[in-house]
Structure 1
Amino acid sequence: MNSSPNTPEPTRRLFFALWPTEPIRQALAEIARSVVCRGNPVSARNFHVTLAFLGPVDARRRDCMERMAAEVEAEPFVLRLNRMGCFSRAGIAWSGASRTPQGLISLVEGLHGRLAECGFIPEKRPFTPHVTLFRKARVESGSHKAVEWAVDGFCLVESSTLPTGARYRVLRRWPLRDDP
């Protein structure tokens, strides 16, 4: 069956992210269990740091974005997650860094710059690297036992909304290079 020219092309809800290893997920899950918080806990399998939320993307734009992601030049870095915070308006309790490493800043700026060539418009609010631990939550800000995450790549992730909650699936990965 052929689609008519007026039929919209199917899209997928996508974002670029840092995707933690299993030991990092477990360390963050331990932090979440230690926090006194009323809210809905996020499954450890969904822990990530969003670099660029793309929203619904058709196949043509996805191809462009994947080509641009491959051109991003950034070096590996260590992300030290050591503080709890809350986006109170959104009800998001998170673990984040008290200091954003230069490598992460370079990665985000490089990725956003490349994605602009595909029509991506980044959010205007400042980038706050964080891993969401709870939704519909309130938590006091403060420090927690540090989780040292050696970041050596980033990925493209598909987000699906199911009756049981969000499901994320890594579609593709790119390594960070020591000598960009």
Structure 2
Amino acid sequence: MESRRLFFSLCFSAQQQQLLAPYQQQALQACPGAKAVAVANLHLTLFFLGQVTAEQQQLLLQSAAKLRSAAFELELDYLAGFRQPKILYLAPSSIPPALLLLQQQLAQFCQVQGFTEPHAEYRPHITLARQALFEGQQRVTPLRLKVREFALYHSRREGEALEYLPLQRFKLIS
């Protein structure tokens, strides 16, 4: 049975991804040798699923379509890194309650379908670079993004290139 590598994520428009690019450049200057994530792949994961069958995918899409969650504003204001995996990211110092609620609702029905959360606590972040060693936190000029939708994404590798393709988008309540 064929499966795909999937995850739920906030949807950023191409314009919003371009607004993230200067933060990525700042991050790369702070961490020479790191590998930049393609700007078109910049996203904020809500729940990583891993390998998903076509049947599971349909159940997940049906459950996501029933979610009623509010749109919100996300303020990203610091750079930091995870030692494992070695990534450099942009994150909010304050998590909007609507983001937390959306993530919890998604996690709940993903877990009902047998998917497990790989981390003990949810830490929203946008990965800017990989293979990065970055210590501590660095405050940055806050970037405010209006979040109006989320999606189920397919992580697909084409040769050396990694692409994140939205399979289905879901509107948040304005």
Scaled by the length of structure 2, the TM-score of the pair is 0.92
For the Cα contact (< 8 Å) 2:10–2:45, is it kept in 1? yes
The alignment status of 1:152 with 2:148, answered yes or no, reads: yes
What CA deviation, in whole Å up to 9, does each residue of 1:115-144 have, x standing for no partner? 233222223421111111010002342111
Structure-1 separation of matches of 2:16 and 2:119 = 29
What do you get for the CA RMSD once the two structures are aligned? 1.3
Structure-1 separation of matches of 2:155 and 2:54 = 15
Structure-2 separation of matches of 1:27 and 1:169 = 20
4+ runs of 1 displaced by more than 6 Å? none
How many residue pairs are counted as aligned between the two chains? 170
The alignment status of 1:30 with 2:25, answered yes or no, reads: no
The one-letter amino acid paired with 1:86 is G
- Tell me the residue number matched to 1:129: 124
Larger Rg: 1
What secondary structure does 1:139 align onto? coil
- Tell me the residue number matched to 1:85: 80
Structure-2 separation of matches of 1:146 and 1:90 = 25
For the Cα contact (< 8 Å) 1:94–1:130, is it kept in 2? yes
For the Cα contact (< 8 Å) 1:92–1:132, is it kept in 2? yes
- Tell me the residue number matched to 1:176: 172
- Tell me the residue number matched to 2:49: 54
Structure-1 separation of matches of 2:119 and 2:153 = 22
- Tell me the residue number matched to 2:96: 101
What secondary structure does 1:68 align onto? helix
For the Cα contact (< 8 Å) 2:82–2:134, is it kept in 1? no
**Ranges in structure 1 where 5+ consecutive residues have no aligned partner:** 1-8
10-19 or 163-172, larger mean C-alpha shift: 163-172
For the Cα contact (< 8 Å) 1:73–1:110, is it kept in 2? no
Structure-1 separation of matches of 2:21 and 2:94 = 21
Structure-2 separation of matches of 1:110 and 1:88 = 28
Structure-1 separation of matches of 2:166 and 2:63 = 17
The one-letter amino acid paired with 1:37 is C
- Tell me the residue number matched to 1:163: 159
**Ranges in structure 2 where 5+ consecutive residues have no aligned partner:** none
